[in-house]
Structure 1
Amino acid sequence: MDFITRFNRALRHQRHNELVADHIDMVEQPKIKTNWPMEYQMVRVYTKKKWLDFQNEMSVSHGYYVQQESMVGDLVGYHVMNFQSGSSAKPRVLTHDKLADYISCSCSKFEFEGIPCRHMLAFFRINQVFLLPNKYILNRWTRNAKVGAIYDFGTQTSIDTPDAKLMARHSRLSYKTSIVIDVASLTDEGTNMLDDQFDCIYSKLQELNISSKNDN
């Protein structure tokens, strides 16, 4: 019981933080630092936290230059160097697969953190790629990551005992209701609409329960 109490408290805390972050993404517009179209594109796509990480990489990328070093078939290798680095500094290696039209960097920031690194962004800028291709935009860092995957209305498994049925119904409705409340509470309009709907649903449920008792 102590574990369940602590787990539920931690879950409520996590849901609260996520709700606050969703509200910030909806009402706050981060500042733009450059005129690069990619910045205008991604400020509307990423969550605020991930956008700040991306904006930092974008700002730093202006201090890098790109030199082609090799070409083997469809694979083109580039060295990406900082303007302020000495000649002994080890460059980052950028590989462009021309057939798949995909680039990867030896720093592996995109693979580990899910956003393009400063070296990739320097390559995009030099090659006049003004908008970030979709293949480099991971859905989990976007503002719409939860759209279309809120909950499942699938069929329910058969449960025999009345107590188990009650708990299963309660758990199913609690999960869906909490998700709807999270979405509605982000705006005044959503809150007022859901509040009215709750009153309407509650009245209908009371009538349904009274009717069921009379039938029994």
Structure 2
Amino acid sequence: ETVEEFECNWGTMLAKYGLGSNQWLMNLYEKREKWASVYSRDICSACMYTSHPCENAYFDGYLRRDMPLCEFLKQLERAITDKRATENDADFESNEMPVLKLTVDIEKEAAAIYTKEILQKFQDQLLESLSYRHKRVAETGTKSMYNVWKNGQTICSVAFDNCDASTKCSCQLFEFSGYLCRHILKVFLVEDVQNLPPHYILKRWTKDVKCGPVVDVQDVCLQIEYHEAPMVQYQKLCQEAINLAIKGSSSIEVYKVALRCLRNTLKEVETSLRNV
């Protein structure tokens, strides 16, 4: 739905039910940019439309309103442990060889990069793109404008630059969700774009999202404080070890590399302990 369609449908609703003078709806409409998702399609929110139904879902089944403080702390730790275990299971599944639906190069690359959940969303968009029609409506140098549509659905406009495979679709799925839409993928197939352009791969959706430096929302590297409590250090080391085990067991070659590096690291730690 576009902004124009939203406002048209809003006006139609008011006229149909005779609510044009309803003060509450008038006030609500004035604040529409704060609650109508159509006004924030250009902001990546990882498909999270609202926090109200799920803001406490993280602790569902763990906490009660009348729970004593001591039990609360135990259940809190249990919830975090269970969530980490679930995350580790998801990491392990993401490192398994996924089933390809089209076996085209762009899908193979996505399978090597994306987590299992995002890969499935990408594959759905890629499959849908096959049933869409396209028409080039303008061309200037390396830049082209396409109309992409499916019978009975809204026509989407896709701007494409052959120089660096940069694109922009009027549906704004990539801007909102962080993975490419069926309209852009249709144009990629037409233009024979066989690889995912790097600027359309968000690190948050990749298998190696936990690797690399810690950054804030402005992508500025944060200085990590290493003077932490021993228990915190222990937990972080365990988490890293689990991550190594998950990725290191994906194949026999990777396993040998991981085991060799792990043994070398253990020798360095033992040497460091003797020098303390």
Q: TM-score, normalised by structure 1?
A: 0.71
Aligned-partner SS, 1:107:
coil
Between the aligned partners of 1:71 and 1:131, the Cα distance in structure 2 is 23
Deviates more, 1:94-103 or 1:14-23: 94-103
- Output the aligned Cα RMSD: 3.8
Aligned-partner SS, 1:31:
coil
Deviates more, 1:131-140 or 1:64-73: 64-73
State the match for 1:11 in structure 2.
Answer: 80
Percent identity, aligned pairs only, is 26
Q: Does 1:118 align with 2:182?
A: yes
- Offset of residue 72 of structure 1: 8.3
Distance 1:208 1:7, change over 3 A: farther
1:60 to 128, 132, 140: 128
Distance 1:90 1:169, change over 3 A: closer
- Offset of residue 135 of structure 1: 0.7
Between the aligned partners of 1:14 and 1:147, the Cα distance in structure 2 is 19
Q: Does 1:30 align with 2:98?
A: yes
Structure 1 residue runs without a partner (length 5+): 158-167, 210-216
Between the aligned partners of 1:12 and 1:46, the Cα distance in structure 2 is 25
Between the aligned partners of 2:192 and 2:143, the Cα distance in structure 1 is 20
Between the aligned partners of 1:118 and 1:35, the Cα distance in structure 2 is 17
State the match for 1:163 in structure 2.
Answer: none
Distance 1:16 1:136, change over 3 A: same
Spell out the pairing of 1:190-201 with structure 2 (5 A cutoff). none
Deviations 1:79-110 (A, max 9, x none): 1112xx14xx4201223367875211122211
Between the aligned partners of 1:36 and 1:171, the Cα distance in structure 2 is 47
Deviations 1:64-85 (A, max 9, x none): 1222334689874321112xx1
State the match for 1:108 in structure 2.
Answer: 172
State the match for 1:134 in structure 2.
Answer: 198
Q: TM-score, normalised by structure 2?
A: 0.57
Distance 1:32 1:78, change over 3 A: same
Distance 1:155 1:21, change over 3 A: closer
- Offset of residue 176 of structure 1: 2.2
- Offset of residue 7 of structure 1: 2.6
Aligned-partner SS, 2:158:
strand
One-letter amino acid of the counterpart of residue 170, structure 1: P
Between the aligned partners of 2:225 and 2:114, the Cα distance in structure 1 is 34
Distance 1:8 1:201, change over 3 A: same
